[in-house]
C-alpha cells in the first residue's frame, strides 16, 4: 500500500470585514486500488466529453482520490468536470457536472459512485493534469 501526503492551505485577509481566514489541513492517504494514474489531457473541445480513465474505478462505492488542475491561462477556457456513473465507453449524463475548473484552478476531492470522470471545455482546447488514485481494488 502506498502513502500519499496531501496539504491544503486557504487564506484570505479580505473575505470578511472582521475575520481573517487562514488554515492548513493535512492528510496521509493510503490508496490501495489496483489503478493509480497520472495523466495529462489536451481536451478535444466544446461539445465532446473526454474521459480521464481507461479502466473503471472499482471497489466498494467506486471511490478514488482525484487531484486535477486546468493548465490553461486563457480567459473562458474553463473545464466542466462530471462524474461518469455509467460504464466507460458510454456518455455521462449530459451537462450534469459537479465542478468547473477555471484557468489555473485545481481541485482535490475523494470522488465516489464514479466509474470515471468526464471533462469538457467551454472553449478552446485547455490541457488538464490529474492524479487519480483508486481507494480500493474491486
* Residue 137 touching another protein (CB under 8 A): no
* Residue 69 touching another protein (CB under 8 A): yes
Among 43, 56, 97, 126, binds another protein (CB under 8 A): 97
Asked if residue 108 lies in contact with residue 5, where contact means CB atoms within 8 angstroms, the answer is no
Among 54, 88, 90, 96, binds another protein (CB under 8 A): 96
Among 32, 85, 124, 125, binds another protein (CB under 8 A): 85
**Total binding residues for another protein by CB under 8 A?**
52
List the beta bridge partners of residue 25: 8
* Residue 80 touching another protein (CB under 8 A): yes
C-alpha cell recorded at residue 38 = 497520472
**Which letter does DSSP use for residue 131 in this model?**
E
CB of 136 to another protein, least distance (A): 11
Q: Where are the beta strands (DSSP E) in 43-78?
A: 50-51, 64-70
Asked if residue 130 lies in contact with residue 39, where contact means CB atoms within 8 angstroms, the answer is yes
Amino acid at each position: 500500500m502506498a502513502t500519499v501526503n496531501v496539504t491544503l492551505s486557504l487564506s484570505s485577509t479580505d473575505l470578511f470585514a472582521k475575520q481573517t481566514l487562514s488554515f492548513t489541513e493535512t492528510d496521509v492517504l493510503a490508496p490501495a486500488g489496483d489503478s493509480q494514474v497520472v495523466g495529462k489531457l489536451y481536451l478535444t473541445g466544446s461539445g465532446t466529453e473526454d474521459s480521464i480513465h481507461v479502466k473503471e474505478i472499482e471497489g466498494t462505492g467506486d471511490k478514488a482520490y482525484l487531484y486535477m488542475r486546468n493548465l490553461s491561462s486563457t480567459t473562458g477556457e474553463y473545464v466542466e468536470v462530471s462524474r461518469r456513473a455509467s460504464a466507460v465507453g458510454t456518455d455521462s449524463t449530459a451537462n450534469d457536472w459537479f465542478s468547473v475548473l477555471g484557468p489555473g484552478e485545481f481541485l482535490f476531492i475523494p470522488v465516489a459512485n464514479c466509474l470515471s470522470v468526464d471533462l469538457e471545455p467551454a472553449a478552446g482546447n485547455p490541457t488538464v493534469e490529474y492524479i487519480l488514485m483508486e481507494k480500493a481494488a474491486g
